[in-house]
């Protein structure tokens, strides 16, 4: 399993740092991540984070990435 760290954003270009959703990247889609799930060890977009409202994921520890990291 690859460990993703919210404090080390993936860089799209030298001017703007964008953290991509790891789940969407598996499907060759680039969607900006809004949270990091410490239990899944993945950055997640808004849609993928909604899955974490269901039982089994509800107690996962999530933090929102801070701008400019």
pLDDT for res 64: 79
pLDDT for res 15: 63
Measure the CA–CA gap between 53 and 69, rounded to whole angstroms: 26
1: Cβ contacts below 8 Å, ≥ 6 apart = 41
pLDDT for res 39: 92
User: pLDDT tens per residue, the chain (69 residues)?
Assistant: 455 555 455 555 556 678 999 999 988 999 999 999 999 989 999 999 998 888 888 899 999 764 433
Neighbours of 17 (CB within 10 A): 15
**Chain Cα centroid distance, residue 41:** 8
pLDDT for res 45: 94
């Amino acid at each position: 399993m690859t460990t993703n760290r919210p404090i080390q954003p993936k860089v799209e270009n030298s001017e703007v740092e964008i953290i991509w959703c790891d789940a969407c990247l598996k499907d060759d889609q680039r969607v900006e991540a809004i949270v990091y799930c410490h239990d899944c060890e993945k950055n997640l977009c808004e849609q993928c984070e909604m899955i974490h409202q269901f039982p089994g994921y509800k107690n996962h520890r999530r933090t929102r990435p801070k701008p400019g990291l």
